[in-house]
């Protein structure tokens, strides 16, 4: 493999456009092949990018593909990533890594067995917003971190997504869909989670497609759509986290971290940028902090650039499968905690990824 990492993308759906826009700006990532269950969609992506449109089997056999980007729906992540790893390809998967902790653990072991890298979204946590907030925490500007709040409160993706059913099937729901952004940010800020408690529920049996050619179609809800969680981090900080598709509107902050000397307001972890604000001691006003770490003007796929650089430098990549497995271990513990109405220990931990210095421009 040379300086540029040759990428084959499997799945040319809605999210792929954001990856493609980022690939154009990354000097160490080259898209060489695309595949999709719909050959016409793969062909359209190939014509727009200059990549080859291949079948999945041909893409996995290609010598021009070093890494597979798995952008399929969550239910297909295990099969596609497994086949890619067995083909000797590095893999970067959209989240979640698998639909269950068992699936994700299986993939991590497969990557180890084949001596290839396995990465997983989200990489928004590597943007200048979250990384600058992390630097505020690491530099001690809020003192010793003691607590945090994390809120994702919305009405669900069916208003804007033309085929939203998979969000409400096993492997979907607000916790598995949006939780990775929030938990990844919380691990960067406060470290891994060791114990959880929580409650969950669903309040509608059906949802309605709100846009596109299938607007008005009704579909069943098969997963919990509101989750309230309490998380205890390794350092002792306590996080209150709420993930919901059942809220019409909210003014709650995305993430705040509080410490013995102050508080930091953290931007939306679903974005790469956003304002970082600090309030210390007896101050009555928030102070906006200039971005000083992370990818400037980042986009989905920056984690692949970091993975490419990590291969050259012989270091761990930051958007790691270990963190993705830890997230699913937290989900697994939360499911048991909500079912049994008790506090549950999280089965796995992970290394807090290294901070990312200011990158870009």
Q: Which residues contact residue 240 at a Cβ distance below 8 angstroms, ignoring those fewer than 6 apart?
A: 147, 148, 149, 150, 228, 229, 230, 231
What is the rounded CA–CA span in Å between residue 112 and residue 105?
11
Residues 155 and 254 in one domain: yes
Domain stops at, among 101, 120, 139:
120
Same domain, 195 and 282: yes
Judgement on whether residues 86 and 169 belong to the same structural domain of the protein: no
In a domain, 77, yes or no: yes
d(CA 128, CA 275): 9
- Percent of the chain exceeding pLDDT 70 equals 99
Q: Is residue 313 part of a domain?
A: no
Is residue 282 pLDDT above 80, yes or no? yes
pLDDT average, residue stretch 32-55: 97
331 shares a domain with 250: yes
Do both 74 and 199 map to the same domain?
A: no
Pair (90, 134) in one structural domain: no
Q: Do 79 and 131 reside in the same domain of the chain?
A: no
Q: Does residue 265 belong to any structural domain of this protein?
A: yes
Is 361 domain-assigned? no
143 in the same domain as 84? no
pLDDT at 202 > cutoff 50: yes
Q: What are 46-74's pLDDT values in tens digits? A: 999 999 999 999 999 999 999 999 999 88
Please state the rounded mean pLDDT for residues 323-343: 95
- Domain of 57, in residue numbers: 5-120
The residue out of 120, 144, 178 marking a domain boundary is: 120
Same domain flag for 149 and 242: yes
Asked whether residue 254 is assigned to any structural domain, the reply reads yes
Give mean pLDDT, residues 213-240: 96
Looking at the structure, tell me whether residues 252 and 286 fall in a common domain: yes
Q: Is residue 21 part of a domain?
A: yes
Establish if 305 belongs to a structural domain.
no
| Confidence band, pLDDT 50/70/90 cuts, at residue 1 | very low
Distance in angstroms (rounded) separating the CA atoms of residues 270 and 274: 10
Q: Which two tokens stand for residue 291?
A: 């971005």
CATH assignment of the domain containing 145: 3.30.360.10
Single residue among 92, 120, 148 that ends a domain in this structure:
120
Calpha distance 302→126 (Å, rounded): 8
Helix (H, G, I), strand (E, B) or coil at 190: helix
Q: Do 293 and 159 fall within a single domain?
A: yes
Question: Does residue 338 sit in the same domain as residue 219?
Answer: yes
Backbone torsions φ then ψ of 91, nearest 5 degrees: -135, 135
State residue 170's pLDDT score: 84
Residue appearing with tokens 């508080």: 263
Q: How many domains does the chain have?
A: 2
Confidence of residue 99 (pLDDT cuts 50, 70, 90): confident
| Domain harbouring 22, CATH code | 3.40.50.720
């Amino acid at each position: 493999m040379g300086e540029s990492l040759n990428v084959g993308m499997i799945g040319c759906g809605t999210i792929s456009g954001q990856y493609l826009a980022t690939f154009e700006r990354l000097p160490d990532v080259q898209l060489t092949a695309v595949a999709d269950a719909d050959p016409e969609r793969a062909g359209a992506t190939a014509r727009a990018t200059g990549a080859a449109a291949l079948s999945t089997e041909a893409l996995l056999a290609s010598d021009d593909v070093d890494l597979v980007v798995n952008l399929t729906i969550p239910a297909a992540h295990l099969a596609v990533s497994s086949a890619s790893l067995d083909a000797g390809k590095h893999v970067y998967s959209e989240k979640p890594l698998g639909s269950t902790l068992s699936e994700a653990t299986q993939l991590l072991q497969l990557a180890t067995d084949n001596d290839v890298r396995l990465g997983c979204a989200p990489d928004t946590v590597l943007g200048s917003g979250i990384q600058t907030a992390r630097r505020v925490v690491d530099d001690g500007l809020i003192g010793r971190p003691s607590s945090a709040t994390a809120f994702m409160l919305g009405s669900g993706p069916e208003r804007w997504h033309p085929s939203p059913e998979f969000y409400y099937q096993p492997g979907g729901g607000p916790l598995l869909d949006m939780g990775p952004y929030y938990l990844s940010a919380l691990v960067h800020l406060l470290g891994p989670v060791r114990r959880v408690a929580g409650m969950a529920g669903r309040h509608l049996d059906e949802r309605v497609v709100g846009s596109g050619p299938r607007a008005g179609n009704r579909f069943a809800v098969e997963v919990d759509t509101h989750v309230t969680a309490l998380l205890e981090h390794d350092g002792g900080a306590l996080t209150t986290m709420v993930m919901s598709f059942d809220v019409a509107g909210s003014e709650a902050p995305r993430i705040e971290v509080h410490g013995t000397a102050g508080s930091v307001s953290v931007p939306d972890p679903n974005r790469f940028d956003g304002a970082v604000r600090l309030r210390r001691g007896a101050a009555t006003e928030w102070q906006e902090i200039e971005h000083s770490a992370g990818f400037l003007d980042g986009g989905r796929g920056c984690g692949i650039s970091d993975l490419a650089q990590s291969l050259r430098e012989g270091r761990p990549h930051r958007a790691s499968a270990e963190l993705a497995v830890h997230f699913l271990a937290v989900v697994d513990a939360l499911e048991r905690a909500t079912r049994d109405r008790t506090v549950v220990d999280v089965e796995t931990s992970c290394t807090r990824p290294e901070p990312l210095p200011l990158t870009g421009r």
